[in-house]
């Protein structure tokens, strides 16, 4: 399992760590190899309760020092 870096100010996972997790979730969902229960759980983690929202909040809060907004 990859080492999780954290946000220096909060101790929470970094933008990069969250983005990597979201990409893993998408790959699993697109593979079609998971059961319906697993897909629902991963979808909830990625979209409803979690990772995507965290990434958006981090972006909006400017926690991405030195990064440019994607075009």
Q: What is the pTM of this model?
A: 0.59
- Percent of the residues in the chain that have a pLDDT greater than 90, as a whole number: 13
Q: Which residue has the higher pLDDT, 26 or 63?
A: 26
Neighbours of 33 (CB within 10 A): 9
Give me the residue spans of the domains in the chain: 16-60
Q: Which residue has the higher pLDDT, 67 or 59?
A: 59
Torsion from C-alpha of 38, 23, 55, 13, nearest 10 degrees: 80
Chain mean position to CA 35: 21
């Amino acid at each position: 399992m990859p080492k999780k870096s954290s946000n220096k100010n909060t101790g929470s996972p970094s933008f990069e760590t969250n983005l990597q997790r979201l990409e893993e979730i998408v790959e699993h969902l697109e593979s079609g190899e998971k059961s319906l229960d697993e897909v629902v759980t991963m979808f909830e983690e990625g979209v409803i309760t979690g990772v995507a929202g965290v990434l958006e909040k981090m972006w909006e809060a400017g926690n991405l020092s030195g990064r440019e907004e994607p075009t």
